[in-house]
Structure 1
Amino acid sequence: MTEQRPLYEVLYCSTLTQDLPPNTVGSIATRARGRNVERGITGLLVFDGQRFCQHLEGPREAVDALMQQIEKDPRHTDIRVVYQAPLAVRRYTGFGMGLAESEGPDLMAGVHVLEGETALRHFLALLPSFDING
């Protein structure tokens, strides 16, 4: 994927709407993969059975447009952007949009309460512990 526009990254956390079953997440990720590839967006969605953390990267306009869609999506509540900044090089080059399930809510709890570079570093430090399906 040759980059022609500057990259931007966003890490956000949210909660799955209570009336939806957790197995909804797999179908959400499957549908999102194709659309994200078309937009030049890569990243990782982590779900712990209740909460999401998603790290998105791509052209700023595309990432901003996707975040606007996510903010309007009734499947998400308590959406909170914990980090956003320009990005020099993609972190996720082996897959378009990976999906990982956390081993439980305690592992992801730190990301949900942190902000800024501290939240990003915490999330990135967890990557080796995830079984990523991309």
Structure 2
Amino acid sequence: MSFDIAARARLARFSAIVKLLTLPMKPIDSLQHCLYTSLLAPGEGLGAVPRIVKSARAHNALHGITGLLIFDGEAFCQWIEGPASSVETLMQRIRADTRHTSVRILLNEPMAARRFRDFSIAYASFGGGGLMHALGSAEGAAARECVLAWLPRLDALG
């Protein structure tokens, strides 16, 4: 009789394990990065930019987003990275944000590892529009390489 109870207990544990192993698995949210440009909306003063940065830092920290925001006095260039679903949701928010116009996606693809893991949003501001001019009509890998080539110049700004 005790053998039947022990065998039934083992069978119940085994059945529970099999049930757990056969549950559908939730896919792991892979890393994604998105590089885009946009213009500061007409009527928005330069005072909007610090508010955008402050809001971005708070939102990004809560949603596992890291990245870089560059502003040249008129245009933004932002590189965001994080879980694919968070990046997509953030891009929907940015497209709907009336402080931005002419949102142009230059790159949106999976990535193996973060480049800006220490920053919920690193921010650089400079005049002259050099980066935006350099980006021109670049897309994909060419846009990524252009921004990466500018990073040392941004670092020099402090």
Supply the distance in 2 between the matched residues of 1:121 and 1:49 (Cα, whole angstroms): 22
Supply the distance in 1 between the matched residues of 2:156 and 2:91 (Cα, whole angstroms): 22
Report the equivalent of 2:119: 95
Q: TM-score, normalised by structure 2?
A: 0.77
For the structure 1 residues 25 and 131, does the alpha-carbon distance in structure 2 shift closer, same or farther, using more than 3 Å as the test?
A: farther
SS where residue 89 of structure 2 aligns?
A: helix
For the structure 1 residues 67 and 132, does the alpha-carbon distance in structure 2 shift closer, same or farther, using more than 3 Å as the test?
A: farther
Report the equivalent of 1:40: 64
Structure 1 residue ranges without an equivalent (≥5) = none
Greater RCO structure (CA 8 Å; 6+ sep): 1
Supply the distance in 2 between the matched residues of 1:102 and 1:113 (Cα, whole angstroms): 21
Structure 2 residue ranges without an equivalent (≥5) = 1-27
SS where residue 56 of structure 2 aligns?
A: helix
For the structure 1 residues 112 and 72, does the alpha-carbon distance in structure 2 shift closer, same or farther, using more than 3 Å as the test?
A: farther
Does structure 2 retain, via aligned residues, the 8 Å contact 1:98–1:132? no
Does structure 2 retain, via aligned residues, the 8 Å contact 1:10–1:83? yes
Report the equivalent of 1:110: 134
Report percent identity of matched pairs. Answer: 40
Report the equivalent of 2:147: 123
How far residue 112 of structure 1 moved from its aligned partner, in angstroms, is 4.4
- Whichever structure has more helix as a proportion of its residues is 2
Supply the distance in 1 between the matched residues of 2:156 and 2:51 (Cα, whole angstroms): 15
The one-letter amino acid paired with 1:31 is S
Does structure 2 retain, via aligned residues, the 8 Å contact 1:48–1:101? yes
- CA RMSD, Structure 1 to Structure 2 (Å): 1.8
Larger radius of gyration: 2
Q: TM-score, normalised by structure 1?
A: 0.90
